[in-house]
Amino acid sequence: MNAPLFKFGMFGDEVSLIVAFVIGIGFGFFLERAGFGSARKLCAQFYFTDLAVFKVMFTAIITAMVGLFWLSWIGFVDLSLVYVSPTFILPQTIGGLILGAGFVIGGYCPGTSCVAASTGKIDALVYIAGIFAGTFLFGELFPFLSGFYNSTPMGQVTIPQFFNLSYGLVVFLVVMMAIGGFAGTGWVEQKFSKLAKETMP
C-alpha cells in the first residue's frame, strides 16, 4: 500500500490496517467471483483456451490509466504524488520469470492462491505453504543475494519518461493495444479450444 493518505498522516496505523482489510476482502471477493479461485481457469490462460485473466487485468490497467490521466488533467489528482516503484531491470526480469514459472506450475499467483484457499482448495494451501517456504529461504539467503537484488537500478522511471514520449501518446497506444487484444481474444480462444479438443486424449 502506497496510498499517500496514510503516508502523509491523514490516518494512523490502526485505521490503515482496517482500510487494508476492507480493500483486501473486496479484492479477494471480486477475484473469486471472476472465477480466479480456480487453478483450471487460471491455467487456461497459458493454453489460450480462456483469456479471462488477460481481459480482467487489461481492463483494470486501462481503467486505472485512463482514470488517472483524466483525473489529473482536470486537476483532481496530482500525479507527482503517486508512488512509482523503482526499477531494477535485471533482478525484476528474473523475478518476473520465476513468478511466471511458478504461476504455470502451481496454477495460482500469490493473490489468487489466498482466494482459492479461502474456498477450501487443498492445492492452494500447498501453494501458500510454498510461498512461505520460499519467502523464508529468500530471507535466509538474502545476504548472498543482496548484491544482485540491488543491481541495475534505474530509479523511479515511467514509460513516457524513458522513451521520451508524450504521456497522452502512451495512454493512446495502450488503449489501442487493449481494444485490439479484446477484439482478438474471441478468435484466439475459439482456435485453441478446438485445438485442445483435438489433441487431448
Partner 1 sequence: MTLSARHWTINKKLAALVGSLGFLALIAANPYKGSRLELNGRELSEIVQKEVDHVSAEELAGWIIQGKSDYRLVDLRNEKDFAEYHIPTAENLAITSLQEGSLARNDKIVLYSDGGIHSAQAWFLLKSNQFKGVYILSGGLDEWKDKILFPRLNDNASPTEIAAFEKAKLVSKFFGGIPQVGGNVASGIPKLAMPKLESPGAGQPKAGPAKKKKEGC
Q: Kindly list the residues in this chain that would bind partner 1 in the complex (CB under 8 A).
A: 2, 4, 7-9, 62-63, 66, 69-70, 72-73, 78-83, 85-86, 88, 109-111, 149-150, 153, 155-156, 166-169, 171-172, 174-176, 178-179, 182
Which residue's CB is nearer to partner 1, number 144 or number 199?
Answer: 144
Residues 6+ positions from 1 with CB-CB distance below 8 Å: 16, 19, 20
Q: What SS3 state is found at 51?
A: coil
Which residue's CB is nearer to partner 1, number 44 or number 53?
Answer: 53
Which residue's CB is nearer to partner 1, number 18 or number 78?
Answer: 78
Q: Residue 120 CB: number of other CB atoms within 10 A? A: 9
Beta bridge partners of residue 87, listed in sequence order = 155
State the nearest-atom distance from the C-beta of 199 to partner 1, in Å: 30
State the nearest-atom distance from the C-beta of 192 to partner 1, in Å: 21
Query: Is the four-CA dihedral 94, 159, 27, 5 of positive or negative sign?
Result: positive
Phi, psi for 132 (deg, rounded to 5): -65, -40
**Alpha-carbon distances, residue 30 vs 24, 36, 54 (angstroms):** 10, 9, 15
State the nearest-atom distance from the C-beta of 19 to partner 1, in Å: 16
Assign residue 118 a region (left: φ > 0; alpha: ψ between -120 and 50; beta: otherwise): alpha
Which residue's CB is nearer to partner 1, number 7 or number 191?
Answer: 7
Give the span between the Cα atoms of 181 and 196, in whole angstroms: 21
State the nearest-atom distance from the C-beta of 20 to partner 1, in Å: 13
State the nearest-atom distance from the C-beta of 131 to partner 1, in Å: 9
Which residue's CB is nearer to partner 1, number 120 or number 155?
Answer: 155
Residue type, 124: A
